[in-house]
Amino acid sequence: MTSILHLDASARPGLAGKDEHGSHSRNLSQRFVSQWRARRPQDPITYRDIGQTPPSIISHDWIASSFTPEARREPWMRDTLAESDRLVDELIAADVLVIGTPLYNFGMPAALKAWIDQVVRPGRTVDIDESNLLDPYIPRLADRPRHLVILTARGGIGFDAGGEMAHMNHLEPNLITALGFIGITRVHQIAIEGQEFGGELLAASVAQALDKVDALVGELQHSLQAERAAEPA
């Protein structure tokens, strides 16, 4: 089986095309998951709506607890890290991480940044080799292939790589850097653009993105099946 972790980060709770002011990024992520489930209903899917229930922002206590070796942690430190441990456990269990997120002010929503800060953890998702000053970081989630699917919606146009606004897009590059740092390096990206313009431009972008989502589901399922078939018995 393939385990999926599905996150939605939009502040909008509804789906575009169904609810007033609905979310286009949620529409993409829901399409991905529904298409996946239709073809592979046996695969477990864990869902977190971090847009509506954001993770806690890290604090001084969190930092002190996280950087204290486990054997030396006091009970209050374990309590402080309990939420982070749950989020990390979900991420470690996932073979495919699906993130539906809007582009807010050229970057990720605060809720998604809070989630990133909770899961990039020394001793859990990354190790630090203090003897190697040139390259001290060891990604712990590189132990097996994991895929990252970023499904995003943007108000403007031209934010894709090579576009006129690409230099102002700090959403996908930030996610790819942070998650690659802990070992998730197989990245797939699909975006809707033109929310601020609407009309035919937005409609065409939505239709194209939905088609890409459907195709990506098939490609991922096929590649994951092929990877497992190639594993030694």
In the block, which residue shows the tokens 């609810």? Answer: 19
Closest CA to 157 of 146, 167, 166: 166
Q: What is the C-alpha to C-alpha distance for residues 135 and 40, in angstroms, rounded to an integer? A: 40
On whether 147 is known to bind a ligand per the annotation, the reply is: no
> Would you mind telling me the total number of residues written for the chain in this entry?
233
Q: Is 24 annotated as a binding residue?
A: yes
User: What letter would DSSP give residue 57?
Assistant: P
222 annotated as belonging to a binding site for a ligand: no
CB contact at 8 A, 121 and 66: yes
Closest to 227 in 3D by CA, of 125, 146, 140, 142? 146
Where helices occur in 81-198 by DSSP H, the ranges are 82-93, 110-119, 172-181
Give yes or no for a contact between 97 and 178, defined as CB atoms under 8 angstroms apart.
no
What is the residue type of 101? Answer: T
Is 59 annotated to bind a ligand? Reply is no
User: Residues within the annotated binding site for FMN?
Assistant: 10, 23-25
User: Residues within the annotated binding site?
Assistant: 10, 23-25
